[in-house]
Amino acid sequence: MGRIVMKFGGTSMAGSERIRRVANIVRRQQAAGHEVAVVVSAMAGETDRLVNFCREANPLYDPAEYDVVVASGEQVTSGLLALTLQALGCKARSWLGWQLPIHTDDAHAKARIGEVENEALLASMAAGEIAVIPGFQGLSDHGRITTLGRGGSDTSAVAVAAAIQADRCDIYTDVDGVYTTDPRIVAKARKLKYVTYEEMLELASVGSKVLQTRSVSLAMKEGVRVQVLSSFIDDDATPADEIPGTMIVSDEELEGHEMERQLITGIAADKNEAKIILTRVPDRPGAVATIFGPLAQANINVDMIIQNVGRDKGETDVTFTVPAADLLRAQTLLEAQKAAIGYNRIISDSKVAKISVVGVGMKSHAGVAATMFRAMADRGINIQAISTSEIKVSVLIDEDETELAVRVLHTAYGMDATDEAA
């Protein structure tokens, strides 16, 4: 029999009724003979609520104390799930991040997992206990609680799966798989049966919200097979391995299932970016380094970058994007560097969205970007920035045009489900 990790997201854990549903799904897996470790998120909305308290307390909050606050959401749900499993007659106990421990670095609020100690877990599972682990939490070398960044429970689950060499990591969520795009935006979006790690990485990193990006890179690195599936199934439904979710697999495994590969696998929209423009930056060697050096030091990820053609007098505008959550910090840093950088004005805009088309198929096809630009132009959508990789083309647009852009592109690439396929 197998060893599996089951991870449940915030919507699945929101309230006693739903936790009971989760407990029943978990119990069925154990009854089927598996050793089971469960990783849970905080109740839906809870982390946002806790983050707001931090902001209210201090807009420039200390990330170490922020972690103390936001890690509590998962502590609550892990205890509640253990209690609920016990009420169903199962042996279960919670293992907080510092108890296992799950070691991380000390980059608070976005810590990276180092080692997950597995002895206690393996012993607990071998004794027939269901191990319940709060996602999102870790322990720094300085003995402090860390968190892994928003959505980090997925990464916790994959890390635990790798540490105990699980046969599979099932991520239960409020959607039943990975779609070509957000089905709430495009009714004709199709569910994908298989996605490669590489494609999922691009889809996740550009806002497909299904899985945290880091969890996918970790799964790729550690060779963890990940399935995304819904926790909202009937109580007497078939066990997880027969539920048709989406499997995230290697290129090699995908080749075995290559039925009708498409040019584009998915379209993602990300509203969590903010745009910064620095005007009249001196157009000389080193200018750009003085902008991005301090941001990198402050752990702020810069994504799209455009350096406009030089204006007169050897000056240029530099446009780039940062996560919206880091906008305030980025602005503060750049203002402090104003003299060193030598720019004139700082303009920021968080009302932007990044739209990306992704597919391994574009490695060997020309014209993907041209199709995108034409489709957007035909609908009068203005493109503010562009970036590309081998399997992705992204554009930055006005946030109000997000839904329109996604719909237009889904049709432009012929991805709308036919009635037969839907």
Q: Which residues bind ligand ASP (CB under 6 A)?
A: 10, 41-42, 47, 73, 135-136, 150-154
Which residue, judged by CB position, is nearest to Mg ion in the bound state? 151
The phi-psi region of residue 195 (left if phi > 0; otherwise alpha if psi is between -120 and 50; otherwise beta) is beta
Specify the residue, 81 or 291, whose C-beta has the smaller distance to Mg ion. 81
Smallest gap from residue 210 Cβ to Mg ion (A)? 8
- Residue 47 binding: pick among ligand ASP, Mg ion, none (C-beta 5-8 Å cut-off by kind): ligand ASP
Specify the residue, 188 or 209, whose C-beta has the smaller distance to ligand ASP. 209
Specify the residue, 9 or 138, whose C-beta has the smaller distance to Mg ion. 9
Specify the residue, 248 or 357, whose C-beta has the smaller distance to ligand ASP. 248
Smallest gap from residue 409 Cβ to ligand ASP (A)? 28
Smallest gap from residue 70 Cβ to ligand ASP (A)? 7
Smallest gap from residue 149 Cβ to Mg ion (A)? 11
Smallest gap from residue 107 Cβ to ligand ASP (A)? 16
- Residue 135 binding: pick among Mg ion, ligand ASP, none (C-beta 5-8 Å cut-off by kind): ligand ASP
Show the CA angle centred on residue 350, arms to residues 395 and 377, nearest 5°. 30
Specify the residue, 101 or 135, whose C-beta has the smaller distance to Mg ion. 135
Burial class (CB in 10 A: 0-12, 13-18, 19+), 322: buried
Name the amino acid, one letter, at 247. Answer: M
- Residue 42 binding: pick among Mg ion, ligand ASP, none (C-beta 5-8 Å cut-off by kind): ligand ASP
Q: Which residues bind Mg ion (CB under 5 A)?
A: 9, 151
Reported as type and span, the H/E element at residue 384 is: none
247 within 8 A of 169, measured Cβ to Cβ: no
Specify the residue, 134 or 359, whose C-beta has the smaller distance to Mg ion. 134
- Residue 140 binding: pick among Mg ion, ligand ASP, none (C-beta 5-8 Å cut-off by kind): none
Three-class DSSP labels, 30-76? HHCCCEEEEEECCCCCHHHHHHHHHHHHCCCCCHHHHHHHHCHHHHH
- Residue 197 binding: pick among ligand ASP, Mg ion, none (C-beta 5-8 Å cut-off by kind): none
CA atoms within 13 A on the CB side of 133: 36
Place of tokens 């006693």: 16
Structure tokens at 1: 């029999």
- Residue 362 binding: pick among ligand ASP, Mg ion, none (C-beta 5-8 Å cut-off by kind): none
Identify which of 333, 175, 239, 291 has the alpha carbon closest to the alpha carbon of residue 30.
239
Three-class DSSP labels, 214-281? HHHHHHHHHCCCEEEEECCCCCCCCCHHHCCCEEEECHHHHHCCCCCCCCCCEEEEECCEEEEEEEEE
Smallest gap from residue 10 Cβ to ligand ASP (A)? 5
Specify the residue, 32 or 325, whose C-beta has the smaller distance to ligand ASP. 325
Smallest gap from residue 225 Cβ to ligand ASP (A)? 20
